[in-house]
Structure formats: C-alpha cells, structure tokens
C-alpha cells in the first residue's frame, strides 16, 4: 500500500464520514450467506480443522513499568524523533538484546579465518625481558 492512499482523520471527525458499507444488506445476510461470501473470496481462503489442530494461544509478554535514569541528551534525541519515544527506546533495547542472543548461538557453518574478508589480527605484545 502506498502512503498516498492512506488518509488519517481524527476520532471526532470519524462520525461525519459516510460509510461505504451497505449495513442493511449485511444485517440481512444469513450465516450461510456469510459463509458462501467468505468461501468465494480469493484473498481469504477458508481454513480447515487440520490447519487449526496444533494452534495455540500466544499472549504478548506485556510491559514492566520501571524507573531508570537516562542521560538527558539521550531522552531528548529520542523525543525529538518520535512522539512515542519510550516505545522507540524499548525497540532499541529489544534489538540490542536480540543481537546479543544471536551472537551467543553457534553458527551452522562457522566462519573460518580463511573465508573472512578481514581476519582479526592478534594484538602486538611488548617483549618482556626477564
């Protein structure tokens, strides 16, 4: 969907917009009419009981209220870029945690020093005279 096709309106103006849905026709539909319309919709194929056999309910983890001290310039940077800067800060922290978790998991095909573009150089150590 293109951004130009999106129209944003306030909640108080929502009730002034005329609905394009024929609600009288929808209210008059029987359960069989609804199922027939859903079955003929190519964008929403019907599901089977077998597809739902292993389904399970998954609830989001939720949020934990915390109080932390963050440098003023960090808060200002986020708040200048988003009205919901706390959510952005949470997203950055989540990405950091997920990146750390990905680093912990062993690679299926470890990268060897031969295939690395820039192999790590061992640090030079000063010679110690005894």
The answer to whether the pTM exceeds 0.75 is no
Confidence of residue 108 (pLDDT cuts 50, 70, 90): low
Give kind and range of the element (H or E) at residue 23: helix 23-28
Of residues 4 and 81, more confidence is placed in: 81
Cα gap 118→7, rounded to integer Å: 49
Summarised one tens digit per residue, pLDDT across range 21-57 is: 999 999 999 999 998 998 899 998 888 899 999 999 8
Contact between residue 88 and residue 78 where contact means Cβ atoms under 8 Å apart: yes
Summarised one tens digit per residue, pLDDT across range 3-16 is: 677 888 888 888 88
């Amino acid at each position: 969907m293109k951004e130009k096709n999106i129209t944003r309106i306030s909640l108080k103006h929502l009730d002034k917009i005329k609905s394009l849905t024929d609600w009288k026709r929808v209210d008059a539909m029987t359960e069989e009419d609804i199922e027939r319309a859903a079955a003929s919709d190519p964008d929403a194929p019907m599901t089977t009981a077998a597809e739902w056999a292993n389904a399970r309910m998954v609830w989001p983890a939720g949020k934990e209220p915390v109080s932390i001290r963050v440098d003023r310039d960090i808060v200002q940077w986020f708040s200048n870029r988003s009205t919901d800067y706390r959510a952005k800060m949470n997203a950055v922290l989540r990405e950091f945690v997920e990146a750390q978790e990905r680093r912990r998991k062993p690679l299926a095909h470890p990268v060897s020093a031969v295939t690395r573009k820039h192999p790590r150089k061992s640090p030079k150590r000063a010679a110690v005279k005894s």
